[in-house]
Amino acid sequence: MLVEQSVRGWRAARYLLLTLATGMAALPLLPLLVLPPVLGQARRWAEWERGRAHAHIGADYAPLPTSPMPERVAERLRYVLRDPGTWRSIRGLAVHALLGTLVGIVGLLAALGVPSALVKVAVWWAVPVPVTFVGIPAHGWGSALIGGLAEVVGYGALFLWGAPAVVGGYARLTARMLSPSDAELRADRLSERVEELSHTRAEALQAHGAELRRIERDLHDGTQARLVALAMRMGIAERMVADDPEQAVRLLREARGNAEGAMAELRDVIRTMYPPILTDRGLNGAVSALGARCTVPTRVRTEELGALPAAVEAAAYFAIAEALTNAAKHAAATSVDVAIARTGATLRIEVTDDGIGGADDTRGTGISGIRRRVAALDGTASVVSPVGGPTVIRVELPCAS
C-alpha cells in the first residue's frame, strides 16, 4: 500500500516538477505572445499540456482537428485571432505561468523535502550556520532528531498524499481549461458537416445539371426531330392526297413510323428519369419486378418502408438495377439476395451475389454510376468484392421526409 502510494507520489512529483519548469518558462513568454511565431508555439504547447493532463487523469484524449491555415499572412492572422483555440491557449498559458509555478513549488517540496530533512539531520552539527527544523534551530541531537522526524513525516505526507491530490486537481483544471467546450465542439462538427453538405450539394447540382442536359438532348435530338419529320410528312401527304393518293399513303405510313419511334424514345427517356413502376407500386413493388425479371434467381427481402422522397426511391431503384445487372453480366452468379430496410431516416440496401467477385470501380461504369448517384443525395455506397466472391454492394441513403 505504501509502495503503491509512493509510486503515485513519484508520478505526481514528476508531473509537478515538469509543470514548475514549463510554468517558469511561460512567465517571461507572456508579453511575447503578441509575436505570431510565439503564438503558434503557445498553441502547440497548449495541445501538449492538454495531452499530458488527460494522460495523468486517465481521460480519453483526442487530438483537436487542425484545420489548414490560409496562405496569406494577413488572412492567417485574422484566422488565428478569430479561432477560439488561440484565446484558450493564451488564457491557459497565463494561468499556467502563475498557478502552475505555485503548484510546481509544491511538487518541488514534495520531491525534495524528505531527502533534505535527512541530509540536514546528518550534517547539522558540522555546518557553520544554524540549521532549522520546522522553523526551529537545532540545539542538540535531541531537537535535531525530533525536528528531522517531524519534517520527514510532514514532507512524506506531502509526497504521498498531498502531491497526488494537488496534481489531480491541477491536471483536471488544465484539461478543462485547454479543451474546447461542448458548444465549441458542436460548432466544429457543424461547420465540418456544412462543408461536407456544400460539397455534396455542389455535386448534386452538377449531377442534376448533367441529367437535365441529357434529357434535353434526348428529347431534342430524338423525339422532337421525329415529331418534326412526322408533321412534315403529314403536311406533304395532305397536299398530295388528291393528285397522288399512292404517294400520300406512303408518306402517311412513314409518318406513323416516326410517331412510333417518338413514342418508344419518349418511353425510354421517362424510364431513365423516374421509372413509372415506382409511381404505381412504390420501391418494394418495383424492386420485386426487377428481381422477377433478373436472369439470375433473385430473392428480395424487404419491409414496410413508409413514404420515401422520389429522388431517394429512384436512386435506390437504379442502384439495385445496376447491382443486379452486374451480378448477371459479370459475376456469373447463381443467386442474388436483395435486402431493403429503413432505420429511422436512413434507407439501407444490400445486394449480395454468390458470383466470382473481383468487381471494382474501374471495371465498367456500373459501380461508379451507383456511387455518383448515391453521393448526390448525401448517401454512401460501398462494394466488397474479394476475388472468388461473394460480392456485397451496400448503399445507404438519408431519407428524412
Partner 1 sequence: MRVVIVEDNVVLAEGLKLLLETSGHEAAAVLGDAEGLVEAVDRHAPDIVIVDVRLPPTYRDEGLRAAIQARRARPDLAVLVFSQYVEEVYATELFTDGARGVGYLLKDRVARVDEFLGALDRVAQGGTAVDPEVVHQLLTRRQHPLSRLTSREQEVLALMAEGLGNGEIARRLVVTEGAVHKHIGRIFTKLGLAEGDSGHRRVRAVLAYLGG
* Residue 102 and residue 108 in contact, taking contact as beta carbons nearer than 8 Å: no
Nearer to partner 1, 27 or 241 (CB): 241
CB under 8 Å to 331, separation ≥6 — which residues?
353, 355, 356, 357, 359, 389, 391
Cβ-count burial 41-80 (b if 16+ within 10 Å, e if not): bbbebbbebbebbbebeeeeeeebeeeeeeeeeeeeeeeb
Site residues, partner 1 (CB under 8 A): 256, 259-260, 263-264, 267, 270-271, 276-277, 279-281, 288-289, 292-293, 295-297, 328
- Cα angle 396-398-400, degrees, rounded to a multiple of 5: 150
Q: At 302, list the grid cell.
A: 424487404
Nearer to partner 1, 172 or 281 (CB): 281
Residues in the chain: 401
Nearer to partner 1, 166 or 252 (CB): 252
* Residue located via cell numbers 511561460: 26
3-state secondary structure of 351: strand
- Of the candidates 368, 294, 302, the one whose C-alpha atom is nearest the C-alpha of residue 334 is 294
Cβ-count burial 302-316 (b if 16+ within 10 Å, e if not): beebeebeebbbbbb
State in angstroms the smallest separation of the CB of 68 from partner 1.
52
State in angstroms the smallest separation of the CB of 263 from partner 1.
4
Nearer to partner 1, 247 or 279 (CB): 279
Helix (H) or strand (E) holding 394: strand 391-398
Nearer to partner 1, 93 or 300 (CB): 300
* Residue located via cell numbers 448503399: 395
- Of the candidates 308, 317, 311, the one whose C-alpha atom is nearest the C-alpha of residue 401 is 308
State in angstroms the smallest separation of the CB of 232 from partner 1.
17
Q: At 224, list the grid cell.
A: 422532337
Nearer to partner 1, 86 or 223 (CB): 223
State in angstroms the smallest separation of the CB of 200 from partner 1.
32
State in angstroms the smallest separation of the CB of 384 from partner 1.
26
Nearer to partner 1, 268 or 360 (CB): 268
* Residue 116 and residue 69 in contact, taking contact as beta carbons nearer than 8 Å: no
State in angstroms the smallest separation of the CB of 259 from partner 1.
6
Nearer to partner 1, 13 or 290 (CB): 290
Quick one: 352 exposed, middle or buried, by C-beta within 10 A (0-12, 13-18, 19+)? buried
State in angstroms the smallest separation of the CB of 365 from partner 1.
21
Amino acid of residue 38: V
Nearer to partner 1, 57 or 328 (CB): 328
State in angstroms the smallest separation of the CB of 312 from partner 1.
18
State in angstroms the smallest separation of the CB of 296 from partner 1.
7
* Residue 322 and residue 370 in contact, taking contact as beta carbons nearer than 8 Å: yes
State in angstroms the smallest separation of the CB of 209 from partner 1.
27
* Residue 397 and residue 375 in contact, taking contact as beta carbons nearer than 8 Å: no
Nearer to partner 1, 132 or 272 (CB): 272
**DSSP H helical segments within 138-273, as ranges?**
141-157, 163-178, 182-218, 225-240, 245-273
* Residue located via cell numbers 419529320: 229
Nearer to partner 1, 154 or 257 (CB): 257
State in angstroms the smallest separation of the CB of 257 from partner 1.
8
Amino acid of residue 202: A
